[in-house]
């Protein structure tokens, strides 16, 4: 790797979104005098009677959760998207609006209130993966649904109000902004080169210095992307060019679960805390179009910077200019790799 990238301020290009990130490696040693986040390393009970996601408890809607044993999925009681709203458009000069419909669901990963993905075993995580596959297929097959966004918010610092292990699915009739950008870049590259943009990037990483690779198995790569914004941002991507999570074989689904397990365990070990993050899967839209340019992947955006209590803020220049990071992607990958 070019030595200048370790010592001098520069910007890196995100091939998937077409946007830049500012990297300032010389700043990573500056002292911190700002806010510290409170850490809660208290062990939670396996069952909490006040938790609306624990088995057999009553939710605010009045529905009672079944005595579920593995994963459990239900329609969000406070959905951000409504499936029954009317179709309308506002075109009033420069004021433009369109109706948006969708379906929002909640997925409990386990009945055990005390666990996170990092604490679950690979068979347990594999069941989460097969649940994602089932929901993506079922929701995506609906006429009005053209994109299915699977994600998880973990930790109070990420605005997650309930520590019970769970994720969400928001699906809708149009492509969300981030997906729209990645759809365009991958489509253009695929049309030009007849190969996968992300697949070619992974090949370059695997055949290069490997200084951004955290872990790999037969089917998946876990790495810090060259253009990562968040300090310990990571990506899990299949080595094969697969459009969506439905294209995985059963064996690949298990290897994907293994990759999730390795990464989340390393995260927890990094600052000796239950590591907060937002993670999400970007994959082929369910709009019935030719989406063969898509190479699905899962991204993790964790906010912690240098300890369990010091968080990275996206403020000032990052709000008004460009996202910026101090610790390099290579430095972050090294630290996570050392924990495996």
Chain positions contacting Zn ion, by CB under 5 A: 48, 51, 53-54, 113, 164
Taking the complex as a whole, how short is the minimal distance between the CB of residue 93 and Zn ion, in angstroms?
49
Distance CA 22, CA 7 (A): 13
Name the closest residue to Zn ion (Cβ): 51
Which DSSP state fits 311?
B
Find the helix or strand (DSSP H, E) in which 255 lies: helix 250-270
Instruction: Using alpha carbons, list the distances in angstroms from residue 116 to 28, 128, 136, 230.
Output: 30, 12, 22, 21
Q: From 96, 109, 43, 38, select the one nearest 70 (Cα to Cα).
A: 109
Nearer to Zn ion, 45 or 123 (CB): 45
Min dist. Cβ of residue 267 to Zn ion (A): 21
Picking from 202, 206, 204, 296, the residue whose alpha carbon sits closest to that of residue 246 is 296
Shortest distance, CB of residue 164 to Zn ion, whole angstroms? 3
Least Cα distance to 306 among 1, 13, 84, 27 occurs for 27
Q: Least distance to Zn ion from the beta carbon of 35, Å? A: 29
Q: Which residues pair with 104 in a beta bridge?
A: 170
CA 36 to chain centre: 24
| CB of 20 or CB of 52, closer to Zn ion | 52
Instruction: Provide the minimum distance between the beta carbon of 114 and Zn ion in the complex, in angstroms, as a whole number.
Output: 9
297: annotated active-site residue: no
Within 161-213, residue ranges assigned H as helices are: 177-193, 197-206
Set 10, 26, 113, 166: catalytic member = 166
Q: Which residues are catalytic?
A: 166
């Amino acid at each position: 790797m070019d030595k200048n990238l370790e010592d001098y301020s520069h910007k890196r290009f995100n091939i998937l979104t077409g946007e830049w990130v500012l990297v300032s490696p010389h700043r990573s040693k500056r002292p911190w005098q700002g806010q510290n986040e409170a850490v809660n390393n208290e062990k939670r009970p396996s069952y909490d009677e006040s938790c609306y996601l624990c088995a057999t408890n009553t939710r605010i809607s009045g529905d009672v959760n079944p005595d579920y044993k593995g994963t459990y999925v239900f329609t969000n009681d406070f959905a951000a998207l409504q499936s029954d709203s009317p179709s309308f458009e506002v075109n009033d000069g420069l004021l433009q609006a369109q109706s948006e419909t969708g379906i929002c669901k909640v997925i409990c990963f386990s009945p055990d209130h005390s666990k996170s993905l990092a604490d679950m075993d690979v068979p347990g995580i594999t069941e989460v993966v097969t649940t994602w596959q089932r929901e993506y297929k079922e929701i995506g097959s609906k006429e009005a649904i053209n994109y299915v966004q699977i994600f998880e918010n973990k930790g109070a610092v990420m605005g997650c109000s309930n520590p019970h292990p769970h994720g969400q699915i928001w699906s809708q009739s149009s492509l969300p902004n981030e997906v729209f950008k990645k759809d365009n870049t991958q489509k253009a590259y695929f049309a030009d080169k007849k190969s996968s943009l992300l697949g070619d990037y992974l090949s370059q990483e695997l055949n290069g210095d490997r200084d951004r690779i955290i872990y790999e198995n037969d089917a998946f790569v876990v790495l810090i992307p060259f253009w990562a914004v968040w300090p310990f941002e990571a990506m899990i991507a299949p080595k094969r060019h697969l459009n969506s999570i439905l294209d995985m074989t059963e064996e690949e689904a298990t290897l994907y679960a293994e990759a999730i397990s390795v990464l989340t365990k390393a995260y927890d070990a990094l600052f000796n805390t239950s590591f907060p993050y937002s993670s999400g899967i970007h994959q082929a839209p369910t709009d019935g179009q030719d989406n063969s340019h898509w190479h699905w992947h899962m991204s993790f955006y964790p906010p912690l910077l240098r300890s369990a209590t010091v968080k990275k803020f996206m403020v000032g220049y990052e709000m008004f200019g460009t996202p910026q990071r101090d610790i390099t992607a290579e430095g972050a990958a090294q630290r996570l790799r050392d924990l495996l």
